[in-house]
Chains A and B, each alone.
Chain A
Amino acid sequence: MRKVINKVFAYVTHAGRLLVFSHPDHPEAGIQVPAGTVKEGEQPETAVLREAFEETGLDNLELVAFLGEQRRSMADFGLDQIHHRYFYHLRYNGRPPESWRHYETEPSDGGSEPIAFDFFWVRLPEGVPALIADHNAMLPRLLDYSGRLPAF
Chain B
Amino acid sequence: MTTELNTEINSPFVCDMTALGPAQREQHIVTSGQLFQAVQEVRELPDGYAFRLPNDSATLLKAAEFVAGERLCCPFFGFVLELEPEGGPLWLRLTGRDGVKPFIQAEIGDHLSLS
Task: List A residues at the B interface (Cβ < 8 Å).
Answer: 1-2, 4, 28, 30, 67-77, 80, 82, 84, 132-134, 137, 141
Contacts and interface: CB of A to CB of B under 8 A. Distances in A.
A2 B106 contact: yes
Interface string B58-94: 0000000000000000100000000000000000000
Give the interface residue-count category, chain B. 20 to 34
Contacts, number: 67
Contacts of A133: 2
B57 interface: no
Contacts of B10: 75-76
Interface of B: 1-2, 6-7, 10-18, 74, 99, 102-103, 105-107, 109-110, 112
Nearest to B9: A76
Nearest to B13: A73
A2 B102 contact: yes
